[in-house]
Each structure stands twice: as structure tokens, then as C-alpha cells.
């Protein structure tokens, strides 16, 4: 089965075409621009028609409100048009080290702390033990010292926030092969969703929700 992956929750996104859990073609995206064009271009480069897609894996966050909404809306649209199932994936699940060991995937939540998920990797197997969740900066520093690696989109926010810990920091865009593999496994386990049941994972209130309560 041909699979489309769309992940645009941060300024370093990923898109890919996979088949039965293996990546055929992938590209790194600069945010959420030209998602539809990139998806069609990937299909062409993979040698398939867009209509041959049988599954869509979509990053639902946390991260940028705009980036999350673009990916979720696009995924819903093609799922309806092509009548294919959806697999929602936390964007954090694409941040995995190459080496085996314990790790923490992290995305800066700006003034709201840090979005994190903790996992363990052995070979191609990745297990998630905690999260996704949002924690404050102090808790992030403490928990970072308890794992072998911290994996994030870029490290400048760690320096800017003056966060101190001894664990090595690995920078990476969300890895297409990791997300395709995890998404395919979920599909085989029967955890796909309908478009009406696909929701963003913000892990914090939107500005509209804050203004509504004020």
C-alpha cells in the first residue's frame, strides 16, 4: 500500500511516500508552505499517481499552530477525496536518535515551556515511555539529565533559555522513515481514524480560547 506522510508542525518538516512501511521518496520541508504541491511532486518522483495512495500519516503536533492546522486540514481533504484512512502521529515521534538508548524528543514551546516525549530505541524498534506532554523549562533540564540523548529541531532555544544539562543534544528534522514505520505499524494494528476524528495536538490553549475565557 502506498502511503503519504505530511509533517509540518515546525519550521523543519517532512513529507514522504512510503510502501508497506518503507520510504520510497522523502523531502525536508521548510514549514507548511506548498504542502499540496510537494505531495503531488513526491508522487510523481515515486512513479505513482496521487490516486494510488491508500493511507495518509499526518503529524498532528505539538508545534506551530499554523503548521499543525495546515497538515491536519490537508490530510482530511485527501482522506475524503480518496476515501483513505488516516494515521495521526505526534510530531515528536519523528525525533529519534540514530544510536540505541534512552532519549527525549523536544520542541520549544516558547514561553510555555517545552513539548517532550521520552522513548527508548533499540535497532529499528522505538518505544515511547512518557508523553507527549508540555513541561516547564526547569523540569525539562532535570529530565534531560536522565536520558542518553536529547533530540530537537535546532538547539538555539536551549541556549536562549539558558537551560543546563550534560546530555548530548542531537538536531534533526522529523525523520520520515521513522514516522512512516511507526505509522504503518499503527495501521496494521487497526488504529486509523476517520477525517471527523482527526484533531490537532496543541498541548496548550490557542489564543482564541484564552480570549474567550478572559
Q: What is the pLDDT of residues 15-39, one digit of tens each?
A: 999 999 999 999 998 877 889 999 9
- What's the angle, vertex CA 196, arms to CA 192 and CA 201, rounded to 5? 75
CATH of the domain at 196: 3.30.420.40
Q: Does the pLDDT value for residue 87 go beyond 60?
A: yes
Tens-place pLDDT, residues 172-210: 999 999 999 999 999 999 999 999 999 999 998 655 555
Residue span of the structural domain in which 71 resides: 2-91+174-213
DSSP classification of residue 175 = P
Q: Are residues 179 and 165 in the same domain?
A: no
Q: Are residues 68 and 135 in the same domain?
A: no
CA distance linking residue 37 with residue 120, whole number of Å: 35
pLDDT at position 144 is: 98
Q: Are residues 79 and 17 in the same domain?
A: yes
Query: Which residues does residue 4 pair with via DSSP β-bridges, in sequence order?
Result: 17, 56
Q: What is the largest CA-CA distance in the chain?
A: 52
pTM: 0.93
pLDDT band at 105 (very low <50, low <70, confident <90, very high): very high
Q: Are residues 61 and 84 in the same domain?
A: yes
Which helix (H) or strand (E) segment holds residue 133: the answer is strand 125-135
Ramachandran bin of 63, using left for φ above 0, alpha for ψ from -120 to 50, beta for the remaining angles: left
Q: Are residues 6 and 86 in the same domain?
A: yes
Closest to 7 (Cα-Cα) out of 85, 86, 90: 90
pLDDT band at 112 (very low <50, low <70, confident <90, very high): confident
Edge to edge, the sheet with strand 2-7 lists 22-29, 13-19, 2-7, 53-59, 86-89
Amino acid at each position: 500500500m502506498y502511503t503519504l506522510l505530511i509533517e509540518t508542525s515546525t519550521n523543519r518538516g517532512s513529507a514522504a511516500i512510503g510502501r508497506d512501511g518503507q520510504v520510497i521518496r522523502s523531502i525536508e520541508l521548510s514549514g507548511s508552505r506548498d504542502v499540496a504541491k510537494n505531495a503531488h511532486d513526491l508522487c510523481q518522483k515515486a512513479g505513482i499517481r496521487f490516486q494510488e495512495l491508500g493511507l495518509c500519516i499526518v503529524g498532528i503536533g505539538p508545534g506551530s499552530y499554523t503548521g499543525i492546522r495546515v497538515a491536519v486540514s490537508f490530510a482530511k481533504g485527501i482522506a475524503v477525496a480518496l476515501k483513505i484512512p488516516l494515521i495521526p502521529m505526534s510530531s515528536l515521534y519523528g525525533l529519534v536518535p540514530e544510536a540505541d538508548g534512552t532519549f527525549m524528543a523536544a520542541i520549544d514551546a516558547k514561553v510555555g515551556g517545552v513539548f517532550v516525549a521520552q522513548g527508548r530505541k533499540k535497532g529499528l524498534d522505538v518505544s515511547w515511555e512518557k508523553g507527549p506532554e508540555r513541561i516547564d523549562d526547569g523540569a525539562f533540564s532535570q529530565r534531560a539529565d536522565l536520558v542518553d540523548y536529547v533530540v530537537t529541531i535546532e538547539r538555539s532555544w536551549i541556549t536562549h533559555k539558558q537551560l543546563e544539562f550534560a546530555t548530548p543534544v542531537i538536531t534533526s528534522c522529523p525523520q520520515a522513515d521513522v514516522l512512516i514505520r511507526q505509522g504503518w505499524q499503527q495501521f496494521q494494528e487497526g488504529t486509523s481514524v476517520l477525517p471527523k476524528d482527526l484533531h490537532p495536538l496543541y498541548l496548550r490553549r490557542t489564543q482564541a480560547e484564552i480570549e474567550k475565557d478572559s
